[in-house]
Amino acid sequence: MRKLKCGFILSMAITVFLALGLTKPSEGLLPQDNAPRIIPLPELEDPGQICVENGRVYVLDKRDIIVYDLKDGRLLKRIGKIGQGPGEFTMGPGRLTVLSDRLVINDFRKIKFFTLEGEYSNEIKEPGFMGFYPFLPIGKNYVGFPMEWRDDGSLSPAAGCIYDKDLKLKKKFYGELPMGPPPPPPPGSQPPAKKTDKLLIRDYADYAVYGDKIFVADSRKGLFISIFNENGELLSEIRHSVEKVKVPKSYLDAVIKERKASKYWDSIYVHQNPVVPDFFPDFIGFKIDGGRIYVITPAQKDGLYEVIVMDLKGQILEKSFRFPIKPNFEVPESFSLKYDVEGDKFVWFAYNDAKETFELHVR
């Protein structure tokens, strides 16, 4: 059975956070003895997501989706372009999901389908505002985690919903997921009258469709993954105990120091009161590949993060320290887009400042 991958919509909030420098592709690569294989990707302008499937690397870039050969980094093709026509993206592609038989791309409240070769097939309209999470077909239904507008104009947290083939709501199957950070104030707006708390470490949640099942990962419950069928019926749950990792005082000090050096200090950061919890979430990354679940925990050893590998029933197959990328604890939604797993190897992109180009890393 081939894998089905998913991860987050690149919302405007995340885009602004990235633009403000809260996360940069060149940041977060940890020192390591076993250096990854590195391939230059000079075609990339401003990548936001990577998906790897069957030896192909799909990178969601500023204007289109660029496909590379994982073996040698050879450019294979470009998919789509900015525009209003069939197979074109209104403001650039939003979120990419590689299914076993097609590509699913979010584009400004529309879901567009392409063949694996990049040929445009058809599109549908989102039945609700999906926010951070993708909207995907599963069996005869669709699954999504829409956000709803409240009476006061704010958005509710995303909640799991099953839709029928006509995009009518069939069932709500999972409660609200953690809310991401609010977007920064628009340019020219007045600063708040008093400092507001800014949470620097947030709970992590994500979901994936694999085969005919939905896997929902939620760190608020510990290392916890719920498994549902295509109708949103709970089949089983995966739960494991992991050792809590305390947040050191040096973490908060380092973030404050970095923000004081930022050009946004006077306009944004000086009006915030950085806050961290006592402990990191039990896990901060979740992928499925080759019939295995890969979970990343905040535990570290020799500059590498812990990887827990499980089968699809949750039995632990391996524990090791081999994840080389520093997580973005403040916006985990964007962090999950920066890497993927293929053939038990982690694949990610990073910017090389010295060479002024993006590079593909495989480890």
pLDDT class for 108, splitting at 50, 70, 90? confident
CATH of residue 158's domain is: 2.120.10.30
* Cα-based distances in Å from 298 to 60, 131, 305, 363: 27, 26, 6, 19
Q: Is residue 320 part of a domain?
A: yes
Range 13-17 average pLDDT:
38
pLDDT for the residue 25? 41
Average predicted confidence (pLDDT) for the chain = 88
In the chain, the number of structural domains is 1
Task: Give residue-wise pLDDT tens across range 322-355.
Answer: 999 999 999 888 899 999 999 999 999 999 999 9
Q: Is residue 22 part of a domain?
A: yes
From residue 25, give the alpha-carbon distance in Å to each of 5, 180, 226, 325.
22, 20, 31, 10
pLDDT tens figures, 135-187: 999 999 999 999 988 888 888 999 999 999 999 999 999 999 987 776 666 66
Q: Is 3 within the bounds of a domain?
A: no
Q: Is the pLDDT of residue 14 over 60?
A: no
Residue 172 domain flag:
yes
Tell which phi-psi region holds residue 63, choosing left (phi > 0), alpha (psi between -120 and 50) or beta.
Answer: alpha
- Between CA 259 and CA 264, with CA 261 as vertex, the angle to 5 degrees is 60
Which residues constitute the domain of residue 352?
A: 12-184+193-362
The percentage of residues in the chain with a pLDDT greater than 90, rounded to a whole number, is 70
Domain assignment present for residue 143? The answer is yes
The per-residue pLDDT for 94 is 85
- Look at residues 316, 129, 328, 158 and name the one whose alpha carbon lies nearest to residue 238: 316
The answer as to whether 309 is a domain residue is yes
Identify the helix (H) or strand (E) that includes residue 260.
helix 249-260
Tokens of 300: 């570290």
Q: How confident is the model at residue 309 (pLDDT cuts 50, 70, 90)?
A: very high
Q: Say how far apart CA 50 and CA 59 lie, in whole Å.
A: 5
Residue 293 falls inside a structural domain: yes
Q: Is residue 5 in some structural domain? A: no
